[in-house]
Amino acid sequence: MKASDLFVKALENEGVEYIFGIPGEENLDLLDSLKNSPIKLILTRHEQGAGFMAATYGRLTGKPGVCLSTLGPGATNFVTPAAYAQLGGMPMLMITGQKPIKESKQGQFQIVDIVNMMRPITKFTKQVVHGNTIAATVREAFRVAMEERPGAVHIELPEDIAAEESDEYVYQIAEVRRPDADGKAISRAVEKIEAAKMPLLLIGAGANRKRASVALTEFVDKTGIPFFNTQMGKGVIDERHEGYLGTAALSAADYLHCAVERADLIINVGHDVIEKPPFFMKKGQEVIHINFSDAQIDSVYYPQLDVVGDVATTIQHLTETISPQSHWDFDYFHRVRKEVVTRIATYSHDERFPVLPQSVVALMREELDTDSIVALDNGVYKIWFARNYPCYDNNTLLLDNALATMGAGLPSAMMAKMINPESKVVAVCGDGGFMMNSQELETAVRLGLDMVVVILNDSAYGMIKWKQEGMGFNNFGLDYKNPDFVKYAESYGAIGHRPGSYEEFRKVFNAATNSKGVHLIDLAVDYSLNHEILNVRLQQKHCIV
Ligand SMILES: Cc1ncc(C[n+]2csc(CCOP(=O)(O)OP(=O)(O)O)c2C)c(N)n1
């Protein structure tokens, strides 16, 4: 069998549905082999778009998303998506081409050592040097990508290897059961939780999965222990639950942190230090680390007990064994919850125009459904969404607080829509982040996706402006001019809107989320209160007593 045909068969064997990417001449054998495959090739307009879509496929399905590029410049464009998948714990396979390795007449033209370039940002990176190793290499790449902690893997398929003959063989997929946590570790966790006076549950990215959601909801319902989450742990338990204290959008000093500081035990389920810290551990505070792998120690995180194993199963065991204690005291936590709710409500219905980020968040929550998905790019609005947007289900607010890259908002929303065609999907981007991968509007239109892109337009890199002001620097070097986003959308065959008031935004948003096609809403945003609210007032606040 031709090696490239075998490569495609090996991908089919893994259940691959899509390959996202931009082929180069070095991928032409593989491209030809895809012609008769049920795997759909989705062309994008930049390798970043392909990589972010593949990573999001992995994030949402648990199975590696696959993307394809040529050698050299195509492969170097995968660097940011690789880091995004790797840090975000998203299984993804990148396939890149290469010049012939046995005999080539092109000197070193376009040749970069991609296998080594990928090493620090992947779990596995390998060149295929013989057609007969394809089946095993693909199987191993998929296994490693999915193994905890999931991440990025890379296979380089040189042109001459793709064209050679190889033995026809694919490996049967062996189901891997994740090990359960050690019984003694679970017992010690139960003892610590029962002995604590004010235990508090933290939910992080590693718990953002369906089974863990169910298990954690049962745990909280049985024990009554209140919870908060990291940005990437949003929605694991429905945030309308009375035990939800808030999301740690900032690492410290928010109203929520009054509760975190008072807790004598934090039960951390699924957070690891790759995500921005949701709190800084302080001396004397106990933390139990429950995750698929043990805790990576850091000056802000050094838990006293690790419970390592399948997260959902660990929580089920905890729930079965634990007895709610009469000495547990959650009164203070519930009072903090009330304060958080009141603070978030301030400005939520402020109808000024340009709009405040707080009121955009509130409006979108009111207009969207339980299963609607909001995918964020990276900008200062991410803090407002994490803090103020209650999620009702897991993975309904897709954001990246691990690599925290700009440019992933639109491609990740597109992928979310492809996987959830019945749900409303909205990408929220800053004008800066949107422009980093705006060319994927063409892909979205070509794929016939019904979705909405909201651009929060401040003609600046607002997040950095906010930091600049917070650090006492003068406003400098962060402003720019934008294209006319309405005309820009229309030139792609999308539908552009520019509301001129808060009420008009509501009408436009409602109509766009309930109609066909790709809609782009150019929304003028007012960030002038960010510094006062997020820096000054939080630093000056006193925790309720
Ligand atoms: C690829 C990349 N480049 C630079 C940064 C640093 N950075 C973080 S947020 C930000 C500004 C974002 O501006 P914009 O997208 O307009 O959103 P805003 O904060 O204005 O709402 C920058 C430059 C980054 N996170 N990722």
pLDDT, tens digit (0-9, with 9 covering 90-100), for 489-518: 999 999 999 999 999 999 999 999 999 999
The confidence score (pLDDT) of residue 315 equals 98
The confidence score (pLDDT) of residue 104 equals 85
For residue 409 and ligand 1, the question of a CB distance below 6 A is answered with no
Cα(80) to centroid(ligand 1), Å? 14
Query: With 90 as the cut, is the pLDDT of residue 261 above it?
Result: yes
Element spanning 490, H or E: helix 485-491
Read off the pLDDT of each residue in 233-257 and give the average, rounded to a whole number: 97
> For the segment 9-62, what is each residue's pLDDT rounded down to a tens digit?
999 999 999 999 999 999 999 999 999 999 999 999 999 999 999 999 999 999
237 with 258: CB under 8 angstroms?
no
Count how many Cα atoms sit within 13 Å of the Cα of residue 113 in the half-sphere of its side chain. Answer: 3
> For the segment 192-211, what is each residue's pLDDT rounded down to a tens digit?
999 999 999 999 999 999 99
396 with 344: CB under 8 angstroms?
no
Cα(465) to centroid(ligand 1), Å? 10
Best probe residue, ligand 1, of 48, 355, 378 (max atoms within 8 Å of C-beta): 378
Dist CA 70 CA 94 (whole Å) = 11
Nearest CA to ligand 1 atom 3: 406
Element spanning 152, H or E: strand 152-158
Cα(268) to centroid(ligand 1), Å? 29
Cα(12) to centroid(ligand 1), Å? 38
The confidence score (pLDDT) of residue 105 equals 86
For residue 400 and ligand 1, the question of a CB distance below 6 A is answered with no
For residue 499 and ligand 1, the question of a CB distance below 6 A is answered with no
The distance from CA 410 to its chain's CA centroid, rounded to whole angstroms, is 12
Dist CA 98 CA 101 (whole Å) = 8
For residue 380 and ligand 1, the question of a CB distance below 6 A is answered with yes
Summary mean pLDDT of the chain: 97
Cα(72) to centroid(ligand 1), Å? 26
Cα(260) to centroid(ligand 1), Å? 29
Best probe residue, ligand 1, of 77, 406, 480, 531 (max atoms within 8 Å of C-beta): 406
Read off the pLDDT of each residue in 425-431 and give the average, rounded to a whole number: 99
| Residue whose C-alpha is closest to residue 115's, from 126, 130, 131, 129 | 126
Query: With 90 as the cut, is the pLDDT of residue 282 above it?
Result: no
Read off the pLDDT of each residue in 516-536 and give the average, rounded to a whole number: 97
Q: Between 444 and 111, name the one with better pLDDT.
A: 444
Whole-model pTM: value is 0.98
Best probe residue, ligand 1, of 48, 52, 438, 463 (max atoms within 8 Å of C-beta): 463
The confidence score (pLDDT) of residue 103 equals 87
Q: What are the tokens at 366?
A: 């009111």
Give the CA radius of gyration of the chain. 24
Instruction: Report in angstroms the alpha-carbon separations of 167 from 34, 136, 468.
Output: 19, 12, 60
Give residue 249's pLDDT band: very low, low, confident or very high (50, 70, 90): very high
Give residue 283's pLDDT band: very low, low, confident or very high (50, 70, 90): confident
Cα(142) to centroid(ligand 1), Å? 32
Cα(464) to centroid(ligand 1), Å? 7
Which ligand 1 atom sits nearest the alpha carbon of residue 381?
21
Write phi, then psi, for 492 (nearest 5 degrees).
-95, -5
Read off the pLDDT of each residue in 226-233 and give the average, rounded to a whole number: 98
Q: Which amino acid appears at position 149 of this protein?
A: R
The confidence score (pLDDT) of residue 457 equals 98
Which ligand 1 atom sits nearest the alpha carbon of residue 377?
15
Query: With 90 as the cut, is the pLDDT of residue 476 above it?
Result: yes
Read off the pLDDT of each residue in 144-148 and give the average, rounded to a whole number: 97
Q: Name the DSSP class of 535.
A: I
| Residue whose C-alpha is closest to residue 30's, from 74, 63, 64, 62 | 74
Which ligand 1 atom sits nearest the alpha carbon of residue 456?
21
Read off the pLDDT of each residue in 449-468 and give the average, rounded to a whole number: 98
Give residue 107's pLDDT band: very low, low, confident or very high (50, 70, 90): confident
10 Å CB burial of residue 297 (0-12, 13-18, 19+) is exposed
170 with 11: CB under 8 angstroms?
no
For residue 407 and ligand 1, the question of a CB distance below 6 A is answered with yes
For residue 456 and ligand 1, the question of a CB distance below 6 A is answered with yes
Read off the pLDDT of each residue in 408-428 and give the average, rounded to a whole number: 98
Instruction: Report in angstroms the alpha-carbon separations of 373 from 15, 210, 422, 446.
Output: 25, 15, 11, 21
The confidence score (pLDDT) of residue 416 equals 98
Give residue 294's pLDDT band: very low, low, confident or very high (50, 70, 90): very high
Q: What are the tokens at 513?
A: 């989320």
Cα(361) to centroid(ligand 1), Å? 19
Cα(462) to centroid(ligand 1), Å? 7
For residue 463 and ligand 1, the question of a CB distance below 6 A is answered with yes
The confidence score (pLDDT) of residue 425 equals 99
Q: What are the tokens at 142?
A: 């998929």
For residue 461 and ligand 1, the question of a CB distance below 6 A is answered with yes
Which ligand 1 atom sits nearest the alpha carbon of residue 407?
1
For residue 462 and ligand 1, the question of a CB distance below 6 A is answered with yes
The confidence score (pLDDT) of residue 348 equals 96
